[in-house]
Chain A
């Protein structure tokens, strides 16, 4: 039988047997739910937030304030956290005045208010502020402190005779910008929000690729061992060559992985795309479709290319590792070197994405071309920093060459390994198998 036909037959069996299992259906469903939940997290948080606005009480023991402290507090406490605030949203904090300090404090104890903000004028004429609350840390306390400064400054200016109109001018926002230190660098600088969003996108894609390699790679190794331990291996070995069996298995499991990933990526993407529409349906506020910051066709293509190629590279080696052992208990030990290698690439990429390592460093650029690491590192470089197209093409070419080499090595190990029962061979025996083929 021709090689291609047999590979297709083996791959088809692997695919069908796996997709039919109940755990595949459940697993995919759980993954989809998880991804949709993460994508919709902002909407969910806003929905939960809306349910209970925090109530803050103000007691003012002085009646000659230039500004209304209730207004100032309301404005500062409800400072929007997102770039485009929703004007109709219910405010997070509702500030109201109470007449008496003791009553107010009792009401905070009762839980009617989250905090009581008291203002009185001291002997030196300065305003003194006190926040009575059980929540001594967090954003609300910091904002209350900020509000007290603003009220105190306004009060001082008022006493110095600066009118309210002049004060508005004084407090107007200043001009502020960010630029590259290198004067020759002309590419536009991203604003902070977009920069973080893009970095996170590369980060998320790296996690997806890493999970795919570890999860389905181990799967491949396990299924090789299963064929060995059930002794089916010798039956099929008479019909098909070891290479056909290995290639079919890798492609079969790969298609399972791609089906599952397609389900996850599509549902996650749809959830992101319609985040605002869903938000408007659930929260009753306006909004249309929007893509996350930094998501481009180029990045998606790179994700697909590095995901597929990276998986194929690791997958055939996972198959070879699986062929070296004959019991399920030994699978983890056998695939350990591969797990370690992929974890190294993954961790470097994660540290780079989160800014803990300098993504522009020379060694980082060099390592991002190394085939076993590039599937993780190139993506985080692309999404964080932008990489020239030729660099990406070079690393993909190196990856393809390495896949060919790995396939050759794996096929030889597999050929010898599948008939091997009993003790796990050491590194030297594996080297011997690779050289002699059997």
Chain B
């Protein structure tokens, strides 16, 4: 009873874009599909939606092949967001919904309600090109969910959004989860994923590196993180000298260290107490998704991975 992606392989010419991508998404959860640009996220989504055919592997939803479900089961927001620029906003929302089989009258009412919710009702009859980028993205989002799909796939929904719109989108996604919808979004920004996702999968070079509930993924490295602050803050030499402890983020307010697998974080507490000064803060936490990502895949700064250029130029 899940969205089950099983052993997807896809080759574009010389490049193996997907090399056995496998993961499950449970109904009603928010799922993050994490990876650098070109890791294979878009290709996977396009195969799930049936735009591309996989060389091998299968996609099922509720145990039925994904392609047998009616189109209105799926909502899709592509990374490059498109609207008919010279077409009025309301009219094109009704157009998209009617392609999914939503009666025009109902589509109109729902679209107006959504526009009002996003406070852009006054733009209903304006051409899309006259809207600001942020407002166009709201229209995009409405177009994705107007036909009330069960599974919503979004490709990099947070990229290029200002903080206000990021917050708006986050709350919209959480609302979808409350309505029992399954939301899958890809991202290379890990903060929103950490905040929203019940489960994640990390993809790299067309392979799934790790997948599962966010909490388990975070613990999968075995590391723990300790944030500590004492009244003698300028001096962290004592922290650096501790065995199996690495300072990852020295800071003014607190210092963050990584504690290797098998080492008790309490050792840091004991060292802090014996070092002298007042202990202002001591916190043990799971590593952030970013830390997991860096450990598993490597630094995220290499924006362009092998596939970034290939994904779109090969049939």
**Which A residues form the contact surface with B (CB < 8 A)?**
1, 5-6, 9-10, 13, 17, 227, 230-240, 416-417, 419-423, 425, 429, 432-433, 437-438
Q: Least Cβ distance of A17 to chain B in Å? A: 6
Most buried by A among B75, B86, B140, B309: B86
Residue in B closest to A230 when the chains form the complex, CB atoms: B82
Q: Chain B residue with minimal CB distance to A420?
A: B315
Q: Chain B contacts of A422 at CB under 8 A?
A: 309, 312-313
The smallest C-beta distance from B88 to any residue of chain A, in angstroms, reads 10
| B46 and A239 within 8 A (CB) | no
Judge if B62 is at the interface, Cβ distance under 8 Å.
no
User: Among the interface residues A233, A239, A432, which one has the most CB atoms of the partner chain B within 10 A?
Assistant: A239
- Let me know if B96 and A231 touch, CB within 8 A: no
Q: Which of B48-71 contact A (CB under 8 A)?
A: 49, 51-53, 70-71
Q: A233-B82, A235-B76, A235-B82 are in contact. Are A1 and B99 (CB under 8 A)?
A: yes
Q: From B83, which residue of chain A is reached at the shortest CB distance?
A: A232
Partner of A420, one of B74, B100, B313: B313
- List which B75-93 residues lie within 8 A (CB) of chain A: 75-78, 80-87
Is the beta-carbon distance between A239 and B96 smaller than 8 angstroms? yes
Residue in contact with A230 in the complex, picked from B53, B74, B84, B100, CB distance below 8 Å? B84
Residue of B nearest to A17 (CB): B87
Q: Are A236 and B315 in contact (CB under 8 A)?
A: no
Contact partners of A230 in chain B: CB under 8 A: 82-85
Which of A5, A232, A236 has the largest number of chain B CB atoms within 10 A? A232
**Which of A9, A234, A420 has a CB less than 8 Å from the CB of B99?**
A9
| Residues in chain B near residue A6, CB distance under 8 A | 99
Q: Is the CB of B100 within 8 A of A239?
A: yes
Q: Is A234 in contact with B98, judged by CB distance below 8 angstroms?
A: no
Beta-carbon nearest neighbor of B96 in chain A: A239
Which of the residues A5, A9, A10, A425 comes within 8 Å of B315, measured between beta carbons? Answer: A425
Given contacts A235-B82, A238-B51, 11 further A-B contacts (CB under 8 A): A1-B71, A9-B95, A231-B81, A232-B84, A235-B81, A239-B100, A417-B315, A420-B312, A420-B315, A422-B309, A438-B315
Chain B proximity of A117: nearest CB distance (Å): 67
Residue in A closest to B84 when the chains form the complex, CB atoms? A232
Whether A235 and B313, one on each chain, are in contact in the complex, defined by CB atoms closer than 8 angstroms, is: no
B82 touches A234 (CB 8 A): yes
What chain B residues lie within 8 Å of A432 (beta carbons)?
315
Q: Enumerate 14 A-B pairs (CB-CB under 8 Å) in ascending A order.
A: A1-B72, A234-B76, A234-B78, A235-B82, A235-B83, A236-B96, A238-B71, A238-B74, A238-B75, A239-B96, A419-B51, A419-B312, A420-B313, A425-B315
Interface membership of B101, Cβ < 8 A: yes
Q: List the 4 closest pairs (A to B, CB-CB), nearest first.
A: A231-B82, A422-B313, A239-B99, A232-B82
Shortest Cβ distance from A6 into B: residue: B99
Asked if A438 meets B80 with Cβ closer than 8 Å, knowing A9-B98, A17-B86, A17-B87, the reply is no
A416 to B147: give the CA distance in the assembly, Å: 26
Q: Is B176 an interface residue (CB 8 A)?
A: no
Instruction: List residues of chain B with CB within 8 A of the CB of A425.
Output: 315
Please name all residues of chain A whose beta carbon is closer than 8 Å to the beta carbon of B312 when the two chains form the complex. 419-422
B197 within 8 A of A: no
How far apart are the CA atoms of A429 and B87 in the complex, in Å? 34
The complex places the Cα of A334 from the Cα of B86 at a distance, in Å, of 25
Instruction: Let me know if B5 is at the binding interface, CB within 8 A.
Output: no
Distance from B61 Cβ to chain A, minimum over Cβ atoms (Å): 14
Task: Say how far A33's CB is from chain B's closest CB, in angstroms.
Answer: 27
From the candidates B51, B75, B83, B315, name the one contacting A429 in the complex (CB within 8 A). Answer: B315
Closest-by-CB residue of A relative to B309 is A422
Find chain B residues with CB under 8 A from A236 CB. Answer: 96, 99
The answer to whether A433 and B315 touch across the interface, beta carbons within 8 angstroms, is yes
How far is A236 from B92 in the complex, measured between Cα atoms in Å? 11
Taking a contact as CB atoms under 8 Å apart, the answer to whether B71 and A239 are in contact is: yes
Say whether, besides A239-B99, A419-B46, A438 and B82 are in contact (CB < 8 Å): no
| Contact A1-B49, Cβ < 8 Å, known A232-B84, A236-B96, A420-B312 | no
- Let me know if A234 and B80 touch, CB within 8 A: yes
